Structure 1
Amino acid sequence: MSPSLEQYFKESVPLPETRSGAFTEAERAFLSRYVGEDYEVVLARQGLTRPSAVTSVTGPLAGAEAAGPPGASGGAGLDEDAALEQALREAGEFKLVGFRLAGQELSVPIAQVQEVLRALPATRLPAAPAHVRGMLNLRGRIVPMIDLAGVMDFSAARGEDRFIVVCRCRGLLLGLPVEALTTMHQAKAQDVEWGLEARAGVASDLVSGLLKVGDALVAILSVDSLFQKVLKS
Structure 2
Amino acid sequence: MSPSLEEYFEERVLLPEQGGGTFSDTERAFLSRYMGEDFEAALKRQGLAQPAAVESISGELAAPVPVAPAPGDPGSEVSDAAALEAGLRDVRELKLVGFQVAGQEFAVPIAQVQEVLRAMPLTRLPAAPDHIAGVTNLRGRVAPMVDLSKILDLSTPSRDNRFVIVCRGRGMLVGLLVEAIAAMHQVSGQDVEWAVEARVGVASDLIAGLLKVGDGLVKILSVDSLFQKVLKS
User: Which residue matches 2:101?
Assistant: 101
- 3-state DSSP class of the match of 1:10? coil
Contact 1:14 1:61 in 2 (8 A): no
Distance across 1 between alignment mates of 2:137 and 2:16: 14
The residue type equivalent to 1:103 in the other structure is G
Alpha-carbon shift at residue 17 of structure 1 (Å): 4.9
Structure 1 residues 3 and 195, CA, compared in 2 at 3 Å: closer, same or farther?
A: closer
User: Which residue matches 1:70?
Assistant: none
Alpha-carbon shift at residue 15 of structure 1 (Å): 4.5
Alpha-carbon shift at residue 12 of structure 1 (Å): 6.4
- 3-state DSSP class of the match of 1:54? coil
Q: Which moved more, 1:189-198 or 1:103-112?
A: 189-198
Structure 1 residues 193 and 130, CA, compared in 2 at 3 Å: closer, same or farther?
A: same
After the TM superposition, which residues 38-53 of structure 1 pair with which residues of structure 2 at under 5 Å, given as runs? Answer: 38-53=38-53
After the TM superposition, which residues 203-214 of structure 1 pair with which residues of structure 2 at under 5 Å, given as runs? Answer: 203-214=203-214
Structure 1 residues 162 and 15, CA, compared in 2 at 3 Å: closer, same or farther?
A: closer
User: Which residue matches 2:83?
Assistant: 83
Distance across 2 between alignment mates of 1:188 and 1:17: 34
User: Which residue matches 2:145?
Assistant: 145
The residue type equivalent to 2:96 in the other structure is L
Alpha-carbon shift at residue 60 of structure 1 (Å): 2.7
TM normalised by structure 1 equals 0.89
Q: Alpha-carbon deviations, 1:100-127, whole Å to 9, x = none? A: 0001100000011111111112000111
Contact 2:165 2:175 in 1 (8 A): yes
Distance across 1 between alignment mates of 2:98 and 2:151: 18
Structure 2 alignment gaps of length 5 or more: 68-75
User: Which residue matches 1:228?
Assistant: 228
Contact 1:12 1:58 in 2 (8 A): yes
Distance across 1 between alignment mates of 2:24 and 2:220: 27
Alpha-carbon shift at residue 10 of structure 1 (Å): 2.8
After the TM superposition, which residues 128-143 of structure 1 pair with which residues of structure 2 at under 5 Å, given as runs? Answer: 128-143=128-143
Distance across 2 between alignment mates of 1:102 and 1:198: 21
- 3-state DSSP class of the match of 1:164? strand
Contact 1:97 1:110 in 2 (8 A): yes
Q: Alpha-carbon deviations, 1:160-217, whole Å to 9, x = none? A: 1110111101111111111100011112122111111332321101011111212211
Alpha-carbon shift at residue 85 of structure 1 (Å): 1.8
Alpha-carbon shift at residue 21 of structure 1 (Å): 4.5
Q: CA RMSD in A?
A: 1.9
- 3-state DSSP class of the match of 1:117? strand
Q: Which moved more, 1:189-198 or 1:44-53?
A: 189-198
Contact 1:145 1:175 in 2 (8 A): yes
After the TM superposition, which residues 124-203 of structure 1 pair with which residues of structure 2 at under 5 Å, given as runs? Answer: 124-203=124-203
- 3-state DSSP class of the match of 2:4? helix
Structure 1 residues 177 and 14, CA, compared in 2 at 3 Å: closer, same or farther?
A: closer
Distance across 1 between alignment mates of 2:138 and 2:14: 16
Alpha-carbon shift at residue 231 of structure 1 (Å): 1.0
Alpha-carbon shift at residue 20 of structure 1 (Å): 4.9
Identity %: 63
TM normalised by structure 2 equals 0.89
Alpha-carbon shift at residue 3 of structure 1 (Å): 5.1
Contact 1:200 1:217 in 2 (8 A): no
